[in-house]
Amino acid sequence: MNLTAEQIASLLGGTVEGNPKACVTSFARIEHGKPGQVSFFANPKYERYVYTSKASVLLVNSDFKPSQPVAATLVRVPDAYAAVASLMEYASAQGRQARWHRGFCRIALSARLGSKVWVGHFVTIGKGCSIGSRTRIMDNVTIGAGTVIGEDCIIYPGVHIFPGTKIGNRVILHSGCIIGDDGFGNVRRADGSWQKIEHLGNVIIGNDVEIGSNTTVDRAPSESTVIEDGVRIDNLCQIAHGVRIGRNTAMAAMCGIAGSAVIGEECILGGQVGVNGHITIAPRTTVGAKSAVIGSVRKPGTTIYGNPAIDHKTYLRAYALFKKAAEEE
């Protein structure tokens, strides 16, 4: 990246206050900013760093009124937090190589790759696969037969995608993801041993989904495990067979979703949340970190917490009583 303040303002629809030729080549947090770097200010508790930061350019909200002189060039934008995300996306796109690389790869003759697809070393693409234009497939990725991947996706190193998976446009799969492996299904025999249940379904991932490193999404025994548009899944999560995750839902690291659970749209799950199988969570539900959801949540917009998870206000009152009882002993 090599951009001037006026170029940044043009990209983000902002205005420059200071030196329009101030040049930046990298990003930094506002408290760590150095010359040649761009930072942003969006949270009022960091305002003191606006006046001490050495960054060459600061992205700030349009209505920000400094109380002291500011050395950096300001680029005023409607939303500084959203603006830095857009600028990072632009910088990332500029750094990608739009070319073929087919060295040390195994690509089936029947596979169809769109224009400007980038393929790294030691990639395997199976029979009948379809890869959309401008998708980037990095080293050591395995894509099973019959898989469909849309346009402008990024598949990071070490991802394994099993046969028959359907992936939309602009999807990001981080290193170590396993998409479409067998779910955990077994039936106990009369002698106490286990018989494996074969999984013949697949995984369907919508558009604009991002899945973190070492997360697994299992295929269904029949039909599909579905991740709808706009979902964000952090690292080290487990999405079991037959699960459906609604549009724009987000979950933090180490969440575990048991088989056939249905999570509504725009839900938020904190880290290490566990969701029981075969239950439904209503849209816009918020689940606090380390909670265990053992029954369906039927009212949209509910916030729950605890193990087992209950209404968060009820939990806080119960915790206050519990703490008080302990202190009185």
Q: How far is C-alpha 230 from the chain's CA centre?
A: 9
User: Which of these, 147, 177, 137, lies nearest to 159 by C-alpha position?
Assistant: 177
Q: Which two tokens stand for residue 110?
A: 């029947």
Determine whether 43 is exposed, middle or buried from the number of CB atoms within 10 Å of its CB (0-12, 13-18, 19+).
exposed
Per annotation, catalytic residue among 160, 241, 278, 312: 241
Q: Which two tokens stand for residue 9?
A: 């303002």
CA distance 191 to 259: 25
Q: Which two tokens stand for residue 12?
A: 């983000």
**Residue 32 is among the residues annotated as catalytic for this protein:** no
**Residue 250 CB contacts under 8 Å (≥ 6 apart), including other chains:** 231, 232, 233, 267, 268, 269
- 305-308: which pairs have CB atoms within 8 A and are 24 or more residues apart? none
Residue type, 178: I
Strand partners, 205: 167, 227
Q: Which two tokens stand for residue 78?
A: 């409607």
Residue type, 308: P
List, by residue number, the catalytic residues: 241
